[in-house]
Amino acid sequence: MDKGKYSEELNVAVRVVHMACFLCQKVQKGLAFSISDDVVQSKDDDSPVTVADWSVQATVSWMLSENFGGENVSIVAEEDVQTLSKSESAGILDKVISTVNECLAEAPRYGLKGPSVALERSQVLEAISRCNSSGGPVGRHWVLDPVDGTLGFVRRDQYAVALALVDNGEVVVGVLGCPNYPMKEQFNNQNQQNHTMPDIYWTSTGKHEEGCVMYTSRGCGRAWMQPLVDTDKKFEWPNFAREIRVSSIDDPELATICEPVERANTDHSFTAGLASSVGLRKQPLRVYSMVKYAAIACGNAEIFMKFARAGYKEKIWDHAAGVLLVEEAGGVVTDAGGRPLDFSRGVYLEGLDRGIVACSGVKLHDAIIGAVYASWESSNL
């Protein structure tokens, strides 16, 4: 595959995710003072949704349509306008409209063109509802999770903005914005090197302690991390990025494992049993969102396992960007049967065998897959 085939899509996606992270940071600062029905609401399945979720979706949808043509853009995304359109949601809708327009006004700072006039209510709702594609094996589909890990976002913990491009069923672009991910440790990592890529980096100065965007494209065999733009100092656009690479650790006793925080999303006891059987000794890091994939891609963890209970269906927006990042950074991601994840079958990861296993290397991955086969019959999953 031509490594430059998706350069334009990657270029725009990186900039748009930077914008979305800027938006999320502004909303999260407001959460420090007030968590009300005008900021956080519950969807029909009782999961939380915030001003940031809808605002990011509207912003990304509008920017992708402007850059690639609305008639050419298919977007698979998590949020819809049903809850937002209810009469009792008038307050949160007003906040979404103002938040979207504040973010779009910053587009020139990221080398993108924003609207000439502020978007109206109908335009914001249209941008959100435009993200109604069901994906599939044919054509190009953007896959967006506007705020992956909403509970982490509300609790000022880890969360991510995840944007990927699927082309004929294969993830070909992956961008992961992690506004609360610690940066200082990353940039001191001895495995990282300075790299500059054309069209994405402009002259700027300064380094940041926290917050980054990680990205890659299919077939390049490399992935990068960029610090977020510092809004206080009004930097224009970062002029540097660092290549990230998975850890070289393959000794189970030294390996770090990540798993979801919520018990509803995974079976912690089964994961603990697998960890013990393959010789993992460290306590697992329970992390919200796709930041788990980010930690593996940049070498801060070696393993991510997730085994949901029967009946739970994994959505493609929860994995697409993170999976590609880990793979291009040198890692391995499969289902628990050792097969690649299939992003060609719509909104869900249909045909998933038991769970998901992501590792920094083949040796650890093979050990865990073997342990799954050895212990699955005795599990209650």
Apex 316 CA angle, 259 and 373, nearest 5: 50
Catalytic residue among 53, 145, 267, 318: 53
The radius of gyration of the chain's CA atoms, rounded to the nearest angstrom, is 20
* CA quadruple 228, 231, 234, 236: dihedral sign: positive
Which residue type occupies 95?
K
- Domain 252-378 is in which class? alpha beta
Structural contact between residues 297 and 246, judged by C-beta atoms closer than 8 angstroms: yes
Which phi and psi angles does 27 have, rounded to 5°?
A: -65, -40
Question: Same CATH fold, 252-378 and 7-244?
Answer: no
Alpha helices in the chain, H assignment, sequence order: 7-31, 51-68, 90-104, 121-129, 150-154, 184-187, 268-277, 291-297, 320-328, 362-375
Alpha carbon distance 30, 51 (integer Å):
11
Q: What one-character-per-residue DSSP string does 92-113 give? A: HHHHHHHHHHHHHTTGGGGT--
148 among known catalytic residues: no
Q: How far apart are CA 330 and CA 222, in angstroms?
A: 8
Q: Encode the chain (381 residues) as per-residue pLDDT tens digits.
A: 344 789 999 999 999 999 999 999 999 888 755 544 455 555 544 456 889 999 999 999 999 999 999 888 999 998 888 888 888 888 899 999 999 999 999 999 999 999 999 999 999 999 999 999 999 999 999 999 999 999 899 988 999 999 999 999 999 999 999 999 976 554 333 333 333 333 433 323 334 457 999 999 999 999 999 999 765 554 556 657 899 999 999 999 999 999 888 877 788 888 999 999 999 999 998 899 999 999 999 999 999 999 988 788 999 999 999 999 999 999 999 999 999 999 999 999 999 998 999 999 999 999 999 999 888 766 555
| Domain extents in the chain | 7-244, 252-378
Catalytic residue among 50, 150, 256, 334: 150
* pTM for the whole structure: 0.89
Contacts of 183 (CB under 8 A, 6+ apart): 207, 208, 209, 210, 211, 212, 227
Q: Burial of 29 by CB count in 10 Å (0-12 exposed, 13-18 middle, 19+ buried)?
A: exposed
Taking the C-alpha atoms of residue 310 and residue 354, their distance in angstroms, rounded to an integer, is 9
Q: Cα 73 from chain centroid?
A: 19
Query: Is 250 annotated in the active site?
Result: no
Q: Which two tokens stand for residue 136?
A: 């599939």
Which distant-in-sequence residues (6+ apart) come within 8 Å of 331 by Cβ?
246, 296, 297, 358, 359, 360, 361
The CATH class, in words, for 7-244 is alpha beta
